[in-house]
Structure 1
Amino acid sequence: MTILRRWLAGLALIPLITVAAAAQDRPKIKLGFAKCAHCTPLVLTPDYAKDIDLEVVPFNTGNDVLTALVSKSIDLGQITYLHYATALDKGFDLVAISGQVNGGSQIVLSNDLPVEANDWAALKTLIAERKAAGKPLKVAASRGNAQDIHMRGAFARQGIDFAKEVEFVNIPNPSDHAQALRRGEVDLICSVEPFATQIRQVKAGKFFTYPYDQSAGNLTNLMLTRSDVIKGNRKGLESTVAAIVKVNDYIGKNREAWVGVITKVTGLDKAIAEGAIENLKPDYRMYKPQALAIAGMMRDLRYISKDVSAEVSRNMDYSFLQAATGQPAADLGDK
């Protein structure tokens, strides 16, 4: 009887052992994202990822995400078209496999500046006056992020020589932008959502413009991985990209959910989150022609040292989006 009981007990353990083994066999992906309003919906992806263990890790900035991706601390990272070109210029082995959310840039001014919204002529006059007086306008951003490049491109489009006419101030963490304006440390900032909307709502500064009149347009986020991850964990990446597509569809239809995610991740209040998403557009496509234009603009601005057009084109892999959506590459931005 004892032998029979042991045999039956052993049978009872078999399903548990099978489940545990199956769990161990599931692909694992570690996804990094920056704590901006565009990026926060990525915390929802584990709920939509099938048959994988997906861990989502927040970072302060896109530069931090890029560092983690290159150092192999994460498998997939949300960064920007600008980081993508910079990474390829440095020879890093990175591959773009999906878009995510675009937009999210605002140029805001000190409340004391006598310049109205979208009045570039008045801003250019003020820049010239301050330069002549030996007190150049202090212009800030988080160096190397999408907002920095959007701003520089917009200034160049207006004929403003960024290198000679203004003084640039680097404020790495966007959450510090509002206080920098309040303390008078800078006159103008190109900030990222939701921090740009926060600046306006707490009256630390005033709106000037959306800096999308340049080669980058409103393109912002890309999902990048490495070729070793593609080779060793394609299933995990496919499931993650499919989850990103589903999350984008969800937040595009459910603003309250998006607002809730922003407030949870950033700690900012609901009114700021609601204002921020007015300047954001969920979009999982990758836009190759515009990516090439961005790389050209970055070369012209001397943010990269060489022409990386061939690398930008070659390292955009549409197969993951095609599998997730059933759409041809041409409809996903490869044209």
Structure 2
Amino acid sequence: MCERNGGAFAALQSASSSNPGRRDFLKSLGGTGAAVVVLPTALAAAMGASGTQAAGNTRVRATHGAGLCNLGIFIAKERQLTRSDGVDLEFVVTPTNTDIVTLFGVGAVDVSMIPYSNLLSLYDAGAPVAVVAGGGVNGCLIVAKEGIASAADMRGKTLGTFQADTLEVLPYDWLKKAGLSFKDVQVRYFNTSPEMAQAFIGGAVDAICAVEPYASQCAAARKGARVLSDGTDLYGPQYADCVLAVRTPLLQKQPAVVRAVIKALLTAQSQIESTPAAALSQTVGSYYKTTLEAATAAARRQPVMVDQRNQAPFILARAQSMKEMGYIKKVPGAGIFDWKPLEDVIAANKTMFDTLKLKSA
């Protein structure tokens, strides 16, 4: 693993997402004192695993989510797109969504493809982290059972989502626009996308806010289900979902490593845009628990977009919702972003960058 600053965090006995106080856990990450982190057995085992590493290369460990916004980093890993720059990208597999935040927050990994909302929570708690690039745009969908056609129909109904996630921010904003709040619904939090999808399809919840490809899968699998919002009706086109975040000690001490990862993501985006079928064939089954046909249809709703500099105002605006929900104490400023590594990579790879379909510039 690259150098990192593992200090300045409170002692944490457990990072399991089954802990009912995980909202408090996110807030507690900014505590002072030496870190004493006791990871769950599954996470400790994952951290001990090591992949094949090229001699002389720098290894950087990363966490990721389950949605199509992670397709770029999956392709970068599978095709070893960082190796030409002397970096080996290694994934640390996490059992639940909260574990992704845990490992990144306590400094057990240096890089994470993470929902912007989780990043906002960590930053507010005092974690030394920064957004350096994007992952994917759009792809967050509110799907409801038969008979629910609007926000007003959600009164008294159960809504499945993830805590402190972009998938919690969207329904919060959507209900608020309709004059409602989470007090008008019963919110149920899940650990993983497949778990939440199964709950909806099986009738355990009335509606969910899910990410692609699981959102489309849910809409198709439950008779009469419909998509109430895909986010664009509320936020407009190309809204941010997950972002590439790094711990600032890595950014300060080994900026070339960060640039290598960003370059790999841009290269992956170029390859995905050129041959999307090949990219999905390489990741369905291993990363996406769905059919190739379903993933292909869903990919159109959540494309990869690494250059998300134009999404900074959107993310900062969503921070207000995070504050209202109690996840952060104050709305951050532009200091949460560091676009210099991305801009350096763009300048050095202008010909490739100019061919990308989705970008800020």
TM-score, normalized by length of structure 1?
0.79
Structure 1 partner of 2:59: 28
CA–CA separation in structure 1 for the residues paired with 2:306 and 2:320: 23
CA–CA separation in structure 2 for the residues paired with 1:333 and 1:280: 16
Structure 2 partner of 1:267: 289
Residue type of the alignment partner of 1:181: F
**1:105-116 matches, cutoff 5 A:** 105-111=140-146, 114-116=147-149
- Are the structure 2 counterparts of residues 31 and 157 from structure 1 closer, same or farther at C-alpha, using a change threshold of 3 Å? same
Structure 1 partner of 2:227: 207
Structure 1 partner of 2:6: none
Which structure is higher in helix share? 1
Contact 1:215-1:293 within 8 A present in 2 as well: no
The structure with more radius of gyration: 1
Query: Of the candidates 263, 279, 283, which is equivalent to residue 305 of structure 2?
Result: 283
CA–CA separation in structure 2 for the residues paired with 1:81 and 1:23: 32
CA–CA separation in structure 1 for the residues paired with 2:198 and 2:132: 36
Query: Of the candidates 127, 131, 142, which is equivalent to residue 162 of structure 2?
Result: 142
- Are the structure 2 counterparts of residues 86 and 216 from structure 1 closer, same or farther at C-alpha, using a change threshold of 3 Å? farther
CA–CA separation in structure 1 for the residues paired with 2:96 and 2:113: 10
Residue type of the alignment partner of 1:102: V
- Deviation sequence 1:207-265 (CA, Å, 0-9, x none): 32213444697310111111211233222111111101111121122220232244131
1:172, CA displacement in angstroms?
1.9
**1:26-175 matches, cutoff 5 A:** 26-46=57-77, 47-49=80-82, 50=84, 51-111=86-146, 114-116=147-149, 120=150, 123-124=151-152, 126-128=153-155, 136-163=156-183, 165-175=184-194
1:314, CA displacement in angstroms?
0.9
CA–CA separation in structure 2 for the residues paired with 1:96 and 1:127: 34
1:73, CA displacement in angstroms?
2.2
- Are the structure 2 counterparts of residues 233 and 244 from structure 1 closer, same or farther at C-alpha, using a change threshold of 3 Å? same
Contact 2:148-2:154 within 8 A present in 1 as well: no
**1:158-197 matches, cutoff 5 A:** 158-163=178-183, 165-197=184-216
Structure with the larger RCO, 1 or 2 (CA within 8 Å, 6+ apart)? 1
Structure 2 partner of 1:247: 268
- Deviation sequence 1:10-30 (CA, Å, 0-9, x none): xxxxxxxxxxxx955422211
Q: Where in structure 1 do 4 or more consecutive aligned residues deviate above 6 Å? A: none
Structure 1 partner of 2:353: none
CA–CA separation in structure 2 for the residues paired with 1:45 and 1:159: 43
Contact 1:296-1:309 within 8 A present in 2 as well: no
CA–CA separation in structure 2 for the residues paired with 1:168 and 1:34: 21
CA–CA separation in structure 2 for the residues paired with 1:53 and 1:210: 35
Q: Which moved more, 1:313-322 or 1:210-219?
A: 210-219
Q: Which moved more, 1:23-32 or 1:86-95?
A: 23-32
1:108, CA displacement in angstroms?
1.0
Residue type of the alignment partner of 1:308: V
Q: Which moved more, 1:295-304 or 1:99-108?
A: 295-304
CA–CA separation in structure 1 for the residues paired with 2:154 and 2:294: 30
Contact 1:62-1:145 within 8 A present in 2 as well: no
CA–CA separation in structure 1 for the residues paired with 2:212 and 2:187: 20
Query: Of the candidates 276, 298, 301, which is equivalent to residue 325 of structure 2?
Result: 301
Aligned residues: 292
Q: Which moved more, 1:93-102 or 1:282-291?
A: 282-291
Structure 2 partner of 1:17: none
Give the unaligned 5+ runs of structure 1.
Answer: 1-21, 129-135
Structure 2 partner of 1:322: 343
> Considering only aligned residues, what root-mean-square deviation do their CA atoms show, in Å?
2.6
Structure 2 partner of 1:18: none
